[in-house]
A and B are shown apart, each in its own frame.
Chain A
Amino acid sequence: MAKVELDRLTVQFGDVSAVDGISLVLDQGEFIVLLGPSGCGKTTALRSIAGLQHVTSGEIRFDGKAVTALSPAKRNVAMVFQFVSLYPHLTVRQNVAFPLRAKGVSSHEIAKKIDWIAKVFTIDDILDRYPVGLPPGSRQKAALARAVVRDPDVLLLDEPLSAVDEQYREEMRWELRHLQKKLGITTVHVTHDQREAMSLADRVVLMKAGRIVQVGSPTALFNDPADRFAAFFIGSPGMNFIDLTLAADGLHVAADQTLRVSAPNSVLESARAGGLNQIVLGIRPHMVELTSEEGPDLLPATLLDAAPVGRDLQAQFTLAGQTIRAVLPLEAELRDRRRLRLPPAHCVFFAPDGTRLGER
Chain B
Amino acid sequence: MAISIPQDETARVKRAPKQVRTLPDSWLCGLFLAPSGLILALMVFYPFFSLIYYSTLQFSMMRPRIEPVDVGLGNYVDLLSDNEIWQRFAFTGKFVLATVLIQFTIGLAVAYAFQRNFKGRDFLFTLALLPMMLCPIVVGFLWRYMFNSEWGVVNWLVSLVGIARIDWLGRSENALWAVAVADAWTWTPFVILLATAAFRGIPKDIKESAEIDGASPMFTFFRVTLPMSLPILMIALLLRLIDAFKQYDLFLAMTGGGPASETQTAAFALGKIAFGYFHTGEASALAIILLIVIMGLSMIFVRYLTRLSNRA
- Mark A residues whose CB is within 8 Å of B: 50-52, 71-73, 76-79, 81-83, 85, 87-90, 98-99, 101-103, 130, 132, 146, 150
Contact = CB atoms under 8 A, between A and B. Distances in A.
B119 to A, nearest CB: 19
Contact of B228 (A50, A52, A88): A88
B157 interface: no
A112 to B, nearest CB: 19
25 contacts: A52-B208, A52-B211, A52-B212, A71-B211, A72-B214, A73-B211, A73-B213, A76-B214, A79-B208, A79-B212, A81-B205, A81-B209, A85-B203, A85-B206, A87-B228, A88-B228, A89-B228, A89-B230, A98-B210, A99-B213, A102-B213, A102-B214, A130-B312, A146-B213, A150-B214
B220 to A, nearest CB: 8
Contacts of B305: none
Given A85-B205, A132-B312, A73 B228 contact: no
B223 interface: yes
Contacts of A71: 211
B215 A89 contact: no
Nearest to B231: A89
Given A52-B211, A89-B228, 16 more contacts: A72-B208, A72-B212, A79-B208, A79-B209, A81-B208, A81-B209, A85-B205, A85-B206, A87-B209, A87-B210, A88-B312, A89-B312, A98-B215, A98-B223, A102-B216, A146-B213
B215 A102 contact: yes
Nearest to A88: B312
Contacts of A87: 206, 209-210, 224, 228
B311 interface: yes
B47 interface: no
B227 interface: yes
A265 B194 CA distance: 73
A88 B209 CA distance: 12
A51 B212 CA distance: 8
B45 interface: no
B219 interface: yes
Contacts of A102: 210, 213-216, 219, 223
Contacts of A103: 214
Contacts of A72: 208, 211-212, 214
Contacts of B216: 73, 102
A167 B267 CA distance: 64
Nearest to A74: B214
A87 B212 CA distance: 13
B227 A89 contact: yes
Q: Which of A71, A102, A132 has the most CB of B within 10 A?
A: A102
A77 B214 CA distance: 9
B312 A98 contact: no
A85 B214 contact: no
A3 B224 CA distance: 32
A73 B312 contact: no
Interface in B176-233: 203, 205-206, 208-216, 219, 223-224, 227-228, 230
Contacts of A82: 205
Contacts of B212: 50-52, 72-73, 77-79
A155 B223 CA distance: 23
A89 B208 CA distance: 16
A155 B201 CA distance: 27
Contacts of A85: 203, 205-206, 208-209
Contacts of A101: 219, 223
Nearest to A152: B212
Nearest to A99: B213
Contacts of A77: 212
Contact of B311 (A76, A98, A132, A146): A132
A130 B311 contact: yes
Contacts of A88: 228, 312
B163 to A, nearest CB: 42
Nearest to A98: B213
Q: Nearest 7 pairs between A and B by C-beta? A: A99-B213, A102-B215, A85-B205, A85-B209, A73-B214, A89-B227, A81-B205
Contacts of B209: 79, 81, 85, 87
A97 B206 CA distance: 15
A132 B211 CA distance: 22
Contacts of B215: 73, 98-99, 102
Most A Cβ at <10 Å: residue of B205, B219, B227, B312? B205
Contacts of B219: 101-102
A186 to B, nearest CB: 15
A58 B312 CA distance: 42
B176 to A, nearest CB: 35
A247 to B, nearest CB: 57
Nearest to A82: B205
B144 to A, nearest CB: 43
Nearest to A87: B224
A89 B311 contact: yes
Contacts of A73: 211-216
Nearest to B230: A89
Interface string B288-312: 0000000000000000000000011
A86 B256 CA distance: 53
A71 B214 CA distance: 9
B129 to A, nearest CB: 28
A98 B311 CA distance: 19
B214 A99 contact: yes
Contacts of A98: 210, 213, 215, 223
A90 B213 CA distance: 15
Nearest to A75: B212
Contact of A83 (B205, B211, B312): B205
Interface string B77-98: 0000000000000000000000
A81 B312 CA distance: 20
Nearest to B226: A89
A102 B224 CA distance: 11
A87 B230 CA distance: 13
B55 to A, nearest CB: 43
A99 B216 CA distance: 10
